[in-house]
Amino acid sequence: MADLILKNCKTITNDIVNLIIEDGKIKEIKKELLHSDNTSDETIDIKEKIIIPGLIDTHVHLRDPGLTHKEDWKSGSQAASHGGYTTVIDMPNTIPPTDTLKSFKEKKEIALKKSYVDFALHAGVKTRKDVQEILTENPASYKIFMDLYEIDELYEMFSYVSETKKPLSLHCEDKNLVDYNIKTLSSNPDNNNKTISYSYARSALAELISVNRAIEFAKKLNLQIHLCHISTRQTLELIREARTSVNVTIEATPHHLFLDNSTYETYGIKAKTNPPLRDKNYNISIGCLKEFDSIGTDHAPHTLEEKQKDTWSSAAGIPGLEVTIPLLLTEVNNNRLTLEEIVRLTSHNPARIFNIPNKGKIDVGFDADITVLDMKKEGKINLDNFYTNGKYSPFENRYYKGSNVMTINRGNVICDENVVIKNLCKYIY
């Protein structure tokens, strides 16, 4: 007997279908339901709203363990569910960082107890021994923040990961240039309360240099690399040329797609993030998405106290899990983006890039991870509805048309409108 039937679902190709779900997986997709099909424990009439595969966010910072005053697995995964996400992959820069087998397993156990959505973990890179030990737990990828290391250290770390045959996710900013720019610009007291100076300190050139170095290392080591939050059109040009010789995929974030550094003049220091928002002469936009492989929110909440300091000491990071889909669907309604592109960037490709089994498609045998969309729902981004502990957003009060209205994870409704429902998560590997 089926556990759940979703009837009258509209696909992105405008077909009306019914999904029969059993044991958390899609058992059948039928145009017509027979009388014999109506034996499920529960039937939900989707009323011809659009269904897409459950969203996969491969770039979140849920801050747990060690930084739970900012966020934890409960609040962060509730935000994910509320935002239409059924799977998240957490970054390793917690306390302790997940760069040893012990810390990796400890974070995994914490998430299994608290998370409302399915999850995986990116691993940090410490020593060759640690990298190999973590491999036994099947991390989604290894992650290096290139702005923290010298060139010789980076090459050694890249070589450790190349031995695992796992992807290497990268934050690409050149350490030496960033350090020099920050030292120079911070020496002028006028810049202490001028947030736009931060975008010049962590410059577009710093990203370009770092990406070029990552491509060269990956070429030498035959390494699959995934470049996080690419923020400039100049970097896109470099990557376009490199794709013929390097296995490279790239991610966009909502804040780099929809904002530029003029946002600092209106929203101030709370819009500070790494890499920073870019000048209009360099920034990416919705029109660039055809060149990207995925959208990651880079959900990175902090307390308001940590955010509201001066240019240099304020924490860098923006919550993104609960704003991304309304922003993207508004672009669909404005005919600047298609639902097919959204599915490619938020489901199909994330599952492919990180080799996530049974997710990323609405198909027989796949996990019944479904995000239901209402393309007519409209309103303004409202912080009062946020589940994340990070109660700030440069998108606050921004108009949207089109939103997720239901999230289903392995056949369990985990969010209905704005109400998040407890769910038993699983580690996806």
* 340: confidence class by pLDDT, cuts 50, 70, 90: very high
Per-residue pLDDT tens over the stretch 130-177: 999 999 999 999 999 999 999 999 999 999 999 999 999 999 999 999
Sign, CA dihedral 123-90-422-5, equals negative
Per-residue pLDDT tens over the stretch 93-113: 999 999 999 999 999 999 999
SS3 label, residue 55:
strand
Strands (E), 130-277: 142-145, 168-171, 225-227, 248-252
To which H or E segment does residue 57 belong? strand 55-60
SS3 label, residue 215:
helix
pTM above 0.85, yes or no: yes
Task: Say if residue 1's pLDDT is above 60.
Answer: no
Task: Say if residue 226's pLDDT is above 80.
Answer: yes
Task: Say if residue 251's pLDDT is above 80.
Answer: yes
Identify whether the C-beta of residue 289 lies closer than 8 Å to the C-beta of residue 338: no
Task: Say if residue 289's pLDDT is above 80.
Answer: yes
Q: Which of 178, 261, 247 is nearest to 218 (CA)?
A: 247
Give the C-alpha separation, 272 to 252, whole Å: 17
For 104-145, give the DSSP string.
HHHHHHHHHHH-SSEEEEPEE---HHHHHHHGGG--S-EEEE
Catalytic residue among 64, 118, 298, 367: 298
Q: How many CB atoms lie within 10 A of CB 182?
A: 18
Identify whether the C-beta of residue 166 lies closer than 8 Å to the C-beta of residue 142: yes
Please give the share of the chain, as a percent, with pLDDT higher than 70: 99
Helices (H) and strands (E) in the chain, counts: 14, 18
| Residue 33: predicted pLDDT | 85
| Residue 118: predicted pLDDT | 98
Identify whether the C-beta of residue 397 lies closer than 8 Å to the C-beta of residue 48: no
Higher pLDDT, 281 or 161: 161
Q: Which of 414, 303, 373, 306 is nearest to 79 (CA)?
A: 414
Give the C-alpha separation, 356 to 428, whole Å: 7
Give the C-alpha separation, 34 to 24, whole Å: 21
Q: How many CB atoms lie within 10 A of CB 353?
A: 21
| Residue 38: predicted pLDDT | 72
Per-residue pLDDT tens over the stretch 35-57: 766 766 789 999 999 999 999 99
Q: How many CB atoms lie within 10 A of CB 372?
A: 24
Q: How many CB atoms lie within 10 A of CB 299?
A: 32
What are phi and psi for residue 19, nearest 5 degrees? -105, 125
Per-residue pLDDT tens over the stretch 382-418: 999 999 999 999 999 999 999 999 999 999 999 999 9
* 64: confidence class by pLDDT, cuts 50, 70, 90: very high
Sign, CA dihedral 85-89-91-96, equals positive
Per-residue pLDDT tens over the stretch 214-223: 999 999 999 9
Q: Which of 275, 182, 295, 178 is nearest to 232 (CA)?
A: 275
What are phi and psi for residue 52, nearest 5 degrees? -135, 165
Query: What is the edge-to-edge ordering of all strands in the sheet holding 118-121?
Result: 55-60, 85-90, 118-121
Domains of the chain as residue ranges with CATH: 4-45 (no CATH), 54-367+376-400 (3.20.20.140)
Q: State mean pLDDT over 233-248.
A: 96
Q: State mean pLDDT over 305-329.
A: 97
Tell me, yes or no, if 298 is annotated catalytic. Answer: yes
Mean pLDDT (the chain) is 96
Query: What size, in residues, is the chain?
Result: 429
| Residue 34: predicted pLDDT | 78
Task: Say if residue 70's pLDDT is above 70.
Answer: yes
Q: State mean pLDDT over 237-261.
A: 97
Identify whether the C-beta of residue 89 lies closer than 8 Å to the C-beta of residue 122: yes
Residue where the block lists tokens 């036994």? 136
